[in-house]
Amino acid sequence: MVTGYGAVTPLGHSAGETWTAMLAGRSGVDTVDVIDVTDLDVRIGGQVRGFTPGRYMPPMVSRRADPYAQFALAAALEACEHAGLVVDDRLAPRVAVVIGSGYGPVGSIYRAADRLRAKGPRAIGPFTQITTAMDSAAGEISMRLGTQGPSRAQSTACASGADAVGAAMRMISTGEADIVLAGGADACVTTIDLAGSGNARALSKRNDDPAAACRPFDAHRDGFVMSEGAAVVVLEAAEVAERRGASALAELTGYGASSDAHHWTAPHPEGRGARLAVEAALRDAGITGADVDYVNAHGTGTLLNDATEAAVLRKVLGSRVTRIPVSSTKSMTGHMIGAAGAVELVASIQALRTGDVPPTINCHDPIDPGINFVPHKTQHHEGMRIALSNSFGFGGHNAALVVRAV
């Protein structure tokens, strides 16, 4: 059961703020100002603006923690508050933490390298090797909340957040934990990452119109938008949530994962891996494509991904795909890499709970006119019970989650 969630995104510093902005069709993409972008071909991104670490953590933590870990901790604290979860001595040994990230604390790594070159070895702090590790977000959350169950990192590129949630689901089903804080985080709006992804021709270059840059499923799309953020959900065994008196927000019923085994940056041309992941998630949930009421698509706005995903949805969902809404919230958040799958799971749950489906903004000329990509404006759909959330990443990593209304 999902009993709580939190988020920090380019649209807001909470899950509520993010959801409100999504329903309004507001873009969080703008000209990047956290770094000098003068010499870059791509100068736009989805930044978490105005974030104040002091609201969520003491100075000693914010000084050592990379922004990706700060975002993750803030999202975890909100999720716990939302779930009414207090990790006491009785619960602690059965509470786990799994945080996914595609890039990890890259900003801290780059800064440490610059400091080493400029000032030598003595300028490197004694915690550098810890705070520049991929598991630092999970560690910060565990130490802050006092969890004593397993805490670990998950890294599968853009599928990291979804895979972390899937791993958490398995931990509960096998009895390894009763409660898991799971999600994803990334803070990779950096010079190196914008330059590298830009040179790979993966990013949109609509520098003069940032809000219109991310155009999932639009015929004139030209790449994704690099963004940052985090989301964490509280997953609990049903009997544990009931014993705590916690309200279930949704039931996570299916998870599937696969690998393309094809190319580092391009999806398999027939969507083989993506299809395997979606089919596995549906099978795990005990349903078929005919049961799906909403799809929160991976929908990055790249030429190959969107076309492949649309074809996969047609194959797996059949005629159902032409009768249900399929939207990409990345059109507003940009691509938060490891955080994306977790943020999009939250959006999927909110859609089931409210009947409101967030739009795919900037989708003026859909690549498949037979699919309702929810262009431009939020749509209301009564009676939605099951949502599918897709996450496909560089390196051929694929993950899909199925969530059911309660």
Q: Could you list the active site residues?
A: 158
Q: Which amino acid is at 328?
A: S
- 22 in Cβ contact with 231 (< 8 Å): no
Cα separation, 45 vs 119, whole angstroms:
31
Three-state DSSP at 229 gives: strand
| Residue that the structure tokens 């004139």 belong to | 220
Burial of 258 (0-12, 13-18, 19+ CB in 10 A): buried
Whole-Å CA distances, 3 to 349, 367, 384: 11, 37, 19
- Six token digits for residue 355: 């009947």
- 194 in Cβ contact with 42 (< 8 Å): yes
**Cα atoms in the 13 Å half-sphere on the side-chain side of 206:** 20
Parallel, antiparallel or unpaired: strands 356-357 and 379-380 = antiparallel
Q: Which amino acid is at 204?
A: S
Task: Give just the sign of the alpha carbon dihedral 108, 109, 112, 113.
Answer: negative
Burial of 192 (0-12, 13-18, 19+ CB in 10 A): middle
